[in-house]
Amino acid sequence: DAEITQSPRHKITETGRQVTLACHQTWNHNNMFWYRQDLGHGLRLIHYSYGVQDTNKGEVSDGYSVSRSNTEDLPLTLESAASSQTSVYFCASSESLASEQYFGPGTRLTVT
Amino acid sequence: ILNVEQSPQSLHVQEGDSTNFTCSFPSSNFYALHWYRWETAKSPEALFVMTLNGDEKKKGRISATLNTKEGYSYLYIKGSQPEDSATYLCAPGGGGGNKLTFGTGTQLKVEL
């Protein structure tokens, strides 16, 4: 069965370190998205991609970057982790805007 | 960034009650409206994707309607059950770009 996975599921890191969160989907979807979930804000879009070599900034992209070298993967990098980036991160994929998004299980990141 | 409002923020009902939630969004540049169900400690799961004014969708005891001209959607749950307890998110797509803007959700708790 097709799926979308994230790793690690939990991560604790120190301020200033570079961190990369992995997202892998086997749906063969062109569209992939990274969100963060914070109390009072719901899901906010960090970056998204329409296909290989395509990346776009979302609502809260400062301090984050993504790259899309193949259809299956969209890793999210925190260049220099900050305490404000402590959050739960969800990756999602979809065929199109008119198609449902499939969400990964989430990664809980704590920056100390 | 679209201004998406969901009401109420939270709702407690008794088993067997019927209930409904509202999602309001800007009607200009509308493309699609998604509803997701999000249980605690899990990932959001899609309920409906609607694109046309007047759309009505149904899945079991849950149904949704869409009014794109006035910018709102209703989600209805008939005969609520404890397993319906979750946060219900709406997410309109539009305003440019193949992406969604999530509301902060309506948290439903169904008590025995």
**Quick check: B30 and B92 in contact, CB under 8 A?**
yes
Confidence of residue B96 (pLDDT cuts 50, 70, 90): low
What digits encode the pLDDT tens for the residues B27-44? 887 889 999 999 999 999
Q: In 10 A of CB B33, how many CB atoms? A: 29
Q: Does B104 touch chain A (CB under 8 A)?
A: yes
User: Measuring CA to CA, which residue among B23, B38, B44 is closest to residue B92?
Assistant: B23
User: Measuring CA to CA, which residue among B92, B44, B33 is closest to residue A104?
Assistant: B44
Confidence of residue B71 (pLDDT cuts 50, 70, 90): very high
Confidence of residue B99 (pLDDT cuts 50, 70, 90): confident
- Burial class (CB within 10 angstroms; exposed 0-12, middle 13-18, buried 19+) of A11: middle
Backbone φ, ψ for residue A96 (5° rounding): -160, 175
Average pLDDT over residues B9-26: 96
Reduced to 3 states, what is the DSSP secondary structure of residue B82? helix
* pLDDT for position A22: 98
pLDDT in tens, chain A (112 residues): 889 999 999 999 999 999 999 999 999 999 999 999 998 888 999 999 999 999 999 999 999 999 999 999 999 999 999 999 999 999 999 998 788 999 999 999 999 9
**Quick check: A107 and A11 in contact, CB under 8 A?**
yes
Q: Does B31 touch chain A (CB under 8 A)?
A: yes
- Residue B27, beta-bridge partner list: none
Distance CA A3, CA B111 (A): 33
Chain A, window 68-97: residues with a beta carbon less than 8 angstroms from a chain B beta carbon: 90, 96-97
Cβ-Cβ contacts under 8 Å, B36 against chain A = 101
What digits encode the pLDDT tens for the residues B58-67? 999 999 999 9
Q: Does A44 touch chain B (CB under 8 A)?
A: yes
Q: Does A58 touch chain B (CB under 8 A)?
A: yes
